[in-house]
Amino acid sequence: MRLLPIAKIIPGMKLGKKIYNSDGLVLLNEGVELSSSLIKRLGDHGVDFVYISDPRTDDIVIRELISDETRAAAISGIKQSFRTAMEDHMKRKAVGALQVGKVFRNLLTMILDDLSSHKDAMIMLTNIHTMDDYLYQHSLNVCIYSTMLGMAHGYSREELMTLGLGSLLHDIGKTQIPIQLLRKNERLTDEEYHVIKKHAEFGYRYLKDEPNIPLLSAHCAFQHHERVDGSGYPRGLKGDEIHEYARWIGLVDSYDAMTTHRVYRRAMLPHQAMEILYAGTGTLYDMKKIELFRDKIAIYPLGVTVTLNTGETGVVSDLNPSVPHRPTVRILKNAYGEDIQSPFDIDLSQQMTLLITGVGEENTVTPV
């Protein structure tokens, strides 16, 4: 399969991978033939890229990090809990009355069990989903990324539970923010941005007295927008004043936000988001955390189109965990843009004179 931007999808192409709806359930299954109306609907729902079936690349298989059952249960649990919190806030009920601890501990157990069988896998754009409810899917994504990084860092199961709960619930304070602000597709005023920033403190207040939620997980919600140079919020903490769990979450929160469709901006590809994160090394983010993230993230995901310095074009067919920036590429077109009869793979980790000079289909990748 190969990854194409929605603008390059042609009616008649077939899906190579499932697309999920905002409830974490399968919306369209692999093998579905895409019509012009389906393509338009996907674009309208914030789907920027899809995996399509291509006989030349159908042997490229992408493993899911969590099962469909776990994904559906997680999204359902997040959605129900967050919506209840929103409703309670609107009714001016006391925050924290929901007792989310038991629900989210059960979800974390499922997620940890699934991820444990993929702990050596690279973090990669794998699941395509509609973005009708960004908050819920974003919370799950940040949890998956943070937990995998925690595994790579060597945290114990109980430490991973605390980190996972903090990441899964890092944005629960947004349930106390007016929905029209969260969904505004124009630039926020200074006053509106000030209101949005309160979600970190709101999240801490909501979680700090919750049964079965460690106080440290509540501090993850409180601190995930703090930055190592003191430029973050809400308290302007610096360096080690910010707990390392919150620093992990702040890093992956930024990454997922950049690589996901937002109402005010299209999704970036991983290499673009990584460049922006690197620009913040030592000021916004810890150097060692950025380095581990770099080693675990697939900046060129399986199936993405790349161009080499030879002018040849192909798709990433395999990853090299030891050198993530030098994957194996299946060449599909020669330097003149002509389809070749017998596609072949080149392992860039063994061909050091070859470089990736472009990513994505021509004129479709959003510039950084």
Total-model pTM: 0.86
**47 close to 19: Cβ distance less than 8 angstroms:** yes
2-52 sits in which CATH class? alpha beta
| Cα–Cα distance measured from residue 258 to residue 6, given in angstroms and rounded to the nearest whole number | 17
For residue 68, the model assigns a pLDDT of 85
**Non-local CB neighbours of 259 within 8 Å, separated by 6+ positions:** 125, 267, 268, 269, 270, 273
Give the tokens for residue 361. 């289909």
Residue with tokens 């913040």: 280
- Say which amino acid occupies 136: Y
Q: What angle do CA 17, 51, 340 make, to 5 degrees?
A: 125
**114 close to 159: Cβ distance less than 8 angstroms:** no
**Non-local CB neighbours of 243 within 8 Å, separated by 6+ positions:** 216, 219, 220, 223
**6 close to 53: Cβ distance less than 8 angstroms:** no
Could you list the beta-strand ranges (E) of 210-272: none
Q: Of 98, 74, 81, which Cα lies nearest the Cα of 211?
A: 98
Residue with tokens 């079965």: 212
pLDDT tens-place string over residues 122-155? 888 666 666 666 788 899 999 999 999 999 999 9
For residue 364, the model assigns a pLDDT of 33
Q: Which fold has domain 68-296?
A: Hypothetical protein af1432 (1.10.3210)
Residue with tokens 């819920």: 136
For residue 125, the model assigns a pLDDT of 64
In the chain, ranges of CATH 3.90.105.10 domains? 2-52
| Cα–Cα distance measured from residue 22 to residue 17, given in angstroms and rounded to the nearest whole number | 16
Residue 147 phi/psi, 5-degree rounding, is -65, -40
pLDDT tens-place string over residues 344-362? 999 999 999 999 999 887 5
What residues in the chain have per-residue pLDDT under 70?
91-99, 125-133, 261-265, 362-368
In the chain, ranges of CATH 1.10.3210.10 domains? 68-296
Residues in the chain: 368
Q: Of 86, 60, 93, which Cα lies nearest the Cα of 179?
A: 86
- Calculated CA dihedral for residues 226, 232, 234, 240, nearest 10 degrees: 40
| Cα–Cα distance measured from residue 43 to residue 47, given in angstroms and rounded to the nearest whole number | 5
